[in-house]
């Protein structure tokens, strides 16, 4: 049985990936950690450590104590939060990753690290962005993500650490609301639709970005870490996507189920600039060929599920 450590376990992805990992591998075999400990249900559902991922000695100590063989390293600062405090974004995203990789090198542990569509920049091809292409991001978040992709490649080639990762698009979910990202609007729109029947969007209505529903994002992480290493050529930065849409598209799909739904706009220039610098849509052929990536949800099935889950919760 695998022994897993999750960093950043109480964030948007961690809250659901941790539960999925515990279901698959057993509660006691999945050790959770975060710099905070404010989600009692998750914290009390199995082993949990309050841990700063930048503390390499503590990361190594916990890895050794629990005979960890795989780390899902999710602790990070996202794009808009990064622009608000670039020094913190660099510190957590780079020094945190370095610390986890050093601990993995010492202990022989495999490491999953998500990159992002934020790793691309304004001169990257915008449509069907290829797996291997120009990466000149203009945000501190993107700079840390490209550096992270390269650092993970380095640890694999130089030290043989089994590093793997995907470039996630915006993730839509209904367990933990996202904070500090640019694609967060797509999640907030569903919550607002159910709670108020209207939403004020901080991105322009025709801003196209890649998105994925959380069940597919979780499956991608677990499937990649279970994949046959012989088949992996890219390892650390697989493009994955499930759909590309803009706020107007999402609103139109919500109206299929809630005809009275209204959207208006109050543009946040920082997040609009971030979104403008990212691709409209990714091509994810390498992930499909190298580890059989195939998403289950499109905009219609995701919208139906989001409104159902949030609607039932609101009753
Ligand atoms: P999140 O902000 O929701 O969660 C990050 C977690 O890390 C938080 O619980 C936070 O408390 C914790 N954390 C922050 N600093 C820490 C530190 N020094 N030590 C330990 N923990 C710390 O982020 P998320 O959305 O769950 O993203 C997880 C990963 O996936 C990140 O690398 C992010 O860049 C990547 N990603 C996310 C998305 C998305 O849409 N959510 C898209 C692309 C990539
Ligand atoms: C963000 O918007 O910062 C994240 C991402 C796409 O990396 N959701």
- Band the pLDDT of 1: cuts 50, 70, 90: confident
Q: Where are the domains of the chain?
A: 4-170+212-239, 171-211+242-280+296-314
For position 315, what pLDDT does the model report? 87
Calculate mean pLDDT across residues 263-267: 98
- Ligand 2 atom at minimal distance to the Cα of residue 182: 2
Question: Which active-site residues does the annotation give?
Answer: 141
pLDDT digits (tens, 9 = 90+) for 217-263: 999 999 999 999 999 999 999 999 999 999 999 999 999 999 999 99
**pTM given for the model:** 0.98
Which CATH number applies to 4-170+212-239? Answer: 3.40.50.720
Q: Average pLDDT, whole number, for the chain?
A: 97
Q: What is the pLDDT of residues 54-103, one digit of tens each?
A: 999 999 999 999 999 999 999 999 999 999 999 999 999 999 999 999 99
Q: Which pLDDT belongs to residue 108? A: 97
- Rounded to the nearest angstrom, the distance between the alpha carbon of 11 and the centre of ligand 1 is 6
Residue 110 pLDDT more than 90? yes
Distance (Å) from CA 42 to ligand 1 centroid: 16
Distance in angstroms (rounded) separating the CA atoms of residues 227 and 110 = 12
Query: Model confidence at 198, in pLDDT bands (50, 70, 90)?
Result: very high
Cβ–Cβ under 8 Å, residues 145 and 118: yes
Instruction: Write down the residue that tokens 């994955």 correspond to.
Output: 240
pLDDT digits (tens, 9 = 90+) for 23-64: 999 999 999 999 999 889 999 999 999 999 999 999 999 999
Instruction: Spell out which residues line ligand 1, taking CB within 6 angstroms.
Output: 7-8, 10-14, 34-36, 52-54, 74-76, 78, 92, 96, 114, 116, 168, 170-171, 178-181, 183
Ligand 1 centroid to residue 75 C-alpha, Å: 4
Query: Which CATH number is associated with domain 171-211+242-280+296-314?
Result: 3.90.25
- In ligand 1, the atom with minimum distance to the C-alpha of 145 is 34
Give the 3-state secondary structure of the chain: CCCEEEECCCCHHHHHHHHHHHHHHCHHHEEEEECCCCCHHHHCCCCEEECCCCCHHHHHHHHHHCCCCEEEECCCCCHHHHHHCHHHHHHHHHHHHHHHHHHHHHHCCEEECCEEHHHCCCCCCCCCECCCCCCCCCCHHHHHHHHHHHHHHHHHHHHCCCEECEEECEEECCCCCCCCCCCCHHHHHHHHHHHHCEEEECCCCCCCEEEEEHHHHHHHHHHHHHCCHHHCCCCCCEECCCEEECHHHHHHHHHHHCCCCEEEECCCHHHHHHHHCCCCCECCHHHHHHHCCCCCCCHHHHHHHHHHHHHHHHC
Q: Closest ligand to 175 CA?
A: 1
């Amino acid at each position: 049985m695998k022994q897993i450590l999750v960093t950043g376990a109480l964030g948007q992805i961690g809250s659901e990936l941790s539960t999925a990992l515990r279901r698959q591998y057993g509660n006691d075999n999945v050790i959770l950690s975060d710099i905070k400990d404010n989600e009692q249900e998750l914290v009390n559902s199995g082993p949990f450590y309050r841990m700063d991922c930048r503390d390499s000695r503590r990361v190594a100590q916990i890895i050794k104590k629990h005979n960890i063989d795989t780390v899902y390293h999710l602790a990070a600062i996202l794009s808009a939060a990064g622009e608000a405090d670039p020094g913190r974004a660099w510190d957590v995203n780079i020094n945190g990753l370095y610390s986890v990789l050093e601990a993995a090198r010492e202990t022989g542990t495999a490491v999953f690290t998500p990159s992002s569509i934020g790793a691309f920049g304004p001169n990257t091809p915008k449509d069907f962005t290829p797996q291997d292409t120009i990466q000149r991001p203009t945000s501190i978040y993107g700079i840390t993500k490209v550096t992270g992709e390269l650092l993970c490649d380095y640890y694999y080639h130089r030290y043989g650490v089994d590093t793997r990762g995907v470039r996630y698009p915006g993730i839509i979910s209904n367990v933990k609301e996202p904070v500090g990202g640019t694609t967060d609007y797509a999640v907030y729109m569903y919550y607002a639709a159910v709670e108020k029947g209207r939403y004020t969007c901080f991105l322009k209505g025709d801003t196209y970005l890649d998105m994925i529903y959380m069940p597919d994002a979780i499956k991608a992480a677990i499937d990649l870490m279970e994949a046959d290493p012989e088949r992996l050529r890219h390892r650390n930065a697989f493009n994955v996507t499930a759909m590309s849409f803009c706020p107007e598209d999402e609103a139109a799909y919500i109206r299929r189920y809630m005809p009275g739904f209204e959207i208006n706009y109050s543009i946040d220039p920082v997040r609009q600039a971030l979104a403008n610098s990212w691709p409209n849509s990714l091509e994810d052929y390498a992930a499909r060929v190298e580890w059989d990536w195939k998403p289950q949800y499109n905009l219609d099935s995701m919208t139906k599920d989001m409104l159902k889950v949030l609607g039932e919760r609101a009753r």
